[in-house]
Structure 1
């Protein structure tokens, strides 16, 4: 599945509809803990976009770390290549969180 920055894909609209949210297009860049790719589950948090910032999504897999270099900036199109499982959730509104895994587990909520 490919995703273009600024677009809300059908899969993203479907996820939002299932949980009763209006879809909000993701920004072109996401923050991803690249060293965790391949671990499960996948955690996503969308913060309210602060002025001057370009990233609202923070995504990691498995264990979280508070290390300064835990997250790296990644273009949305690259995320669709390395972690396509997360892409359908990126239309969730600011303040959303999700936990998913490759066995079908899914939890979505608004913080």
Structure 2
């Protein structure tokens, strides 16, 4: 998928949820679990406010979430197409937003608690 197509999907999604389009800066990092490459369902994502060279996104597969500091691996956003291309359309949601996808199911919602870190 081209960058223009991804941007169009992202803008459409942000419009659907009446939220600002907040694209990720190139070269920033996100946290992702290793199991995401195994097509584990559901796929979860949440966005904290960006800090330093991170963009605030944390992505994991499955129901379980861990506070273990090794739960997430840090990757540059440019590698997301290798790791989990199906989440690209969600990545322009602003901080405070979450998503969950599984098979043909999609849920997107605002979680104010994500802004308090």
TM-score range, shorter chain: 0.7 to 0.9
Give the Cα separation in 1 of the matches to 2:35 and 2:68: 12
**Partner-residue secondary structure (3-state), 1:88:** helix
After the TM superposition, which residues 15-34 of structure 1 pair with which residues of structure 2 at under 5 Å, given as runs? 15-27=13-25, 28-34=28-34
1:11 is aligned to 2:9 = yes
Structure 1 unaligned spans of 5+? none
Q: Deviations over 1:25-65 (max 9, x none)?
A: 11432111123432101100000123x35230000010222
- Equivalent residues of 2:36, 2:84 under 8 A apart: no
Q: Deviations over 1:58-97 (max 9, x none)?
A: 0001022222101111111211222011110000011001
**Partner-residue secondary structure (3-state), 1:48:** coil
**Count of aligned positions:** 106
Distance of aligned partners of 1:36 and 1:81 in 2 relative to their CA distance in 1, 3 Å threshold: closer
Distance of aligned partners of 1:47 and 1:79 in 2 relative to their CA distance in 1, 3 Å threshold: same
Structure 2 unaligned spans of 5+? 112-117
Give the Cα separation in 2 of the matches to 1:43 and 1:54: 18
TM-score w.r.t. the length of structure 1 is 0.83
RMSD between superposed Cα atoms in Å: 2.0
